[in-house]
Amino acid sequence: MQNEIRVRFAPSPTGDPHLGSIRTALFNWLFAQQNNGKFILRIEDTDQSRKQHNSDQKMITALKWLGLDWDEGPYYQSKRLEKYHTAIDTLIKNNKAYRCYCSPERLDNLRKQNSKNHDKKFIGYDKLCRKNSNLETSKPHVVRFAMPETGKTIFNDIVRNEVSFQNELSEDFIILKSDNFPTYHLANVVDDNDMKISHVFRAEEWLPSTPKHINLYNALGYPIPKYGHLPMLLSSDRTKLSKRHGATSIIDLINIGYIPIGLINFLALLGWSLDDKTEIFQTEELIKNFDIHDLTKSGAVVDYEKLSWINGYHIRSLDPDSLAKQIYEFWELNPPKNFDTSPTMEETKKIVPLIQNRIKILSEISEYIGFYFKKSIDYTIEELIQKGMDLQSTKIALEASKSALNSITKFDSVSIETSLRNTAIELQIKPGQLLSTLRVSLTGQKISPSLFEIIELNGIDKTIERINISIEKMTT
C-alpha cells in the first residue's frame, strides 16, 4: 500500500534512554496508533566509539515498560552496511559524492584559520577533493556528499510550516567515515527510504540538517518523507535537557517510582494540549485526541513537580489491585531499605488502601508503611508523650486503649475508631493526644496512614504486643 503511515523511532545506543527520546517515541507511536500505521524501532549504531553496551536493551526495556510496542524491528544499522555502501557507490558514480583524502589535521587547520580570518564564505570544508577528481581508493579516505552550490532547499515542516535554507551554506558533509561506517545523515536517509517511512518526527535539533537529508534523497532519487520537528525538552535553565538539573534517564525515573501512565500523560502534555482544561489522559484517550499538527513550537521546560502531580493523580485513580501489582513489581526491583521482610502480594494488596491517596511516587510508600514490614520499631519515650501529657497519663492512656481494643468484638477500623474515641472521652483527653501516642507506639512514626486502619491491619495481637512494649519502655 502506497499511502501507508509508517513512522520510526531511531535512538542511538549511547547512554541511558533519555526523557526527550522517549517523548519523541511517544509522539511517533501515538501518530502510528491513531492512523492505523506502523511504528518501527531502529537502533542507529553507526558510531562505534560512542556505542555503549546494553544501551539498546535499556531502551527496549523502557519502551516495553511504557507499553510503546513496535511493529517492526529493532533494526540495527551496523548490520545493514551493505545497503549504505551500495547507495554511496551510486552517488559516487553519478558524481553526487566524492572521496576525500584530506587528513583530520588539515581540516582542523582549515577551520582554525578561517575562524581567525572571519571568512563568512567558508563552510566547514574547502572542497579540495571535489575539485581534484583523484579516485585512488587505496589511500585512507572518507566520502563526502557534493551539496548543490546554488539554490535553496525549502520544505514544509508539519510543526513549523515553511522552512528554507541556502544550499551554499551546507558543507560537503561526510557520508562515509574512514572506518567504513556511514554517518547518521546517510544511514538515516537510506533506511527511511528502505523502510518506507512516510513521516519523520524528530527533535528540533535536527532541523538544520534537514536540507542535507533532502538533497541526499534527491540525489538518490528517493521520495521525500514529511517532516515534523518537535519542540525540545528543556532543563530549568532553558538549555537542552540534561542530567545536571534532575533525572533525565527514564530508568532513573522508573526506579524513583513513576508509573507508565503518569510518565506518558506528562510527556504528552509537553508540546501538546487538547484544550484549555483537560490535563489527565489515559493512553486510549491520547490516541483518540492527540494531534501532531497542533503542537507548540517553543521548547518546554520539564517540571518534575507537575510530573509528580500527574503521577499521583493516576495512582489515586487506579483500581487497587492493579496498583498493588505495580507496587509489588516496583518493590521486587527496588526493595525498600527500611523493610525487614519482602512483602508478599497479599500483604501488598492489604496496604494499598492505606497509602493510595497519600503518595505521588511509589518510593514514598515505604516511609508510610515501614512499621508493617519491620520486626521491631524504634522510638523514644519523649516521642510517645504528647503535648499536655506526662509519663503517667500516657501510660494510663495506653493501658486504657489496650483494654478498649481487647473488648472489641468485631475488629475493624470502624469499631476501633468508635472504641478509641470513647476511650479519649473517658480519659478526658483530646482524641489527637490519644491517637498520636498510639501512632508512635504502633508505628514508631509521627506520620502515618489512618491509625484505625493501621490497627486493623496489624491485628489485635501485634497491636497489644507493641502497646506492651511501650508501657515497659516507660516503666524501666
Positions 200 through 219 that interact with RNA (CB under 7 A): 204-209
**How many Cβ atoms are within 10 Å of 339's Cβ, its own excluded?**
16
Count of residues binding RNA (CB under 7 A)?
Answer: 91
Q: For residues 263 and 23, give the distance between their C-alpha atoms in angstroms, rounded to a whole number.
A: 9
Farthest-apart Cα atoms in the chain, separation: 103
What single string gives the DSSP state of each residue in 322-371? Answer: HHHHHHHHHHHHS--TT-SSPPPHHHHHHHHHHHTTT-SSGGGHHHHHGG
Site for RNA, residues 434 to 453, rule: CB under 7 A = 435-436, 439, 446-453
The one among 301, 345, 396, 425 contacting RNA by CB under 7 A: 301
Instruction: Quote the least distance from Cβ 475 to RNA, whole Å.
Output: 25
* Interface of this chain with RNA, residues 350 to 379, rule: CB under 7 A: 357-359, 368
Nearer to RNA, 283 or 436 (CB): 436
Q: Classify 40 in phi/psi space as left (phi over 0), alpha (psi -120 to 50) or beta.
A: beta
| 269 contributes a contact to RNA by CB under 7 A | yes
87 exposure class (CB count in 10 Å sphere: 0-12, 13-18, 19+): buried
Select from 305, 312, 309 the least CA-distant residue to 359. 312
Mark the segment that binds RNA (CB under 7 A) among 190-198, 215-223, 311-319, 460-468: 311-319
Residues 6 or more apart in contact with residue 120 via CB below 8 angstroms: none
Decide if residue 320 touches RNA (CB under 7 A).
Answer: no
Q: Is 306 a catalytic residue?
A: no
292 binds RNA (CB under 7 A): no
Which member of 56, 191, 417, 456 binds RNA (CB under 7 A)? 417
Q: Which stretch binds RNA (CB under 7 A): 40-48, 332-340, 392-400, 461-469?
A: 40-48
Cis peptide before 13 (omega within 30 of 0): no
CB of 30 to RNA, least distance (A): 15
Give the one residue of 109, 296, 342, 406 binding RNA; rule: CB under 7 A: 296
Binding RNA (rule: CB under 7 A), the pick from 61, 249, 273, 363 is 273
Grid cell locating 211:
536540507
Binds RNA (CB under 7 A): choice among 231, 262, 370, 444: 231
Cα separation, 254 vs 270, whole angstroms:
19
Residue list 232-251, contact with RNA (CB under 7 A): 232, 234, 237-240
Least distance to RNA, CB of residue 476, Å: 27
End-to-end CA distance of the chain: 84
- Closer Cβ to RNA, 160 or 243, answer by number: 160
Instruction: Give bridge partners of residue 82 from the DSSP assignment.
Output: none
User: At closest approach, how far in Å is the CB of 25 from RNA?
Assistant: 13
Which CB, 51 or 473, lies closer to RNA? 51
Task: Check if the beta carbon of residue 101 is closer than 8 Å to that of residue 129.
Answer: yes
Site string for RNA, 321-350 (x = CB under 7 A): ------------------------------
Stretch that binds RNA, among 64-72, 88-96, 230-238, 282-290 (CB under 7 A): 230-238
Kindly state the cell numbers that stand for 238: 532553558
Cα torsion 108, 109, 110, 113 to 10°: value is 130
Q: Under DSSP, is residue 426 helix (H, G, I), strand (E, B) or coil?
A: helix
Sequence-ordered list of residues with C-beta below 8 angstroms from that of 116, at least 6 positions apart, any chain: none
Q: How far is CA 110 from CA 24, 69, 107, 113, in A?
A: 37, 47, 5, 5
Q: Which among 188, 160, 185 has a CA at the least distance from the CA of 174? A: 185
Cell of 160: 513549523
Catalytic position from the list 83, 243, 374, 402:
243
Smaller CB distance to RNA: residue 3 or 428?
A: 428
Among 63, 190, 300, 389, binds RNA (CB under 7 A): 300
- Residue in 131, 139, 277, 375 binding RNA, rule: CB under 7 A: 277
Task: Work out whether 289 is an interface residue with RNA (CB under 7 A).
Answer: no
Of 64, 244, 288, 306, which one interacts with RNA (CB under 7 A)?
Answer: 306
- Binding characters for RNA, 100-139, by CB under 7 A (x = yes): --xxx--x---x------x-x--xxx--------------
CA distance 452 to 457: 9
Give catalytic residues, as residue numbers: 243
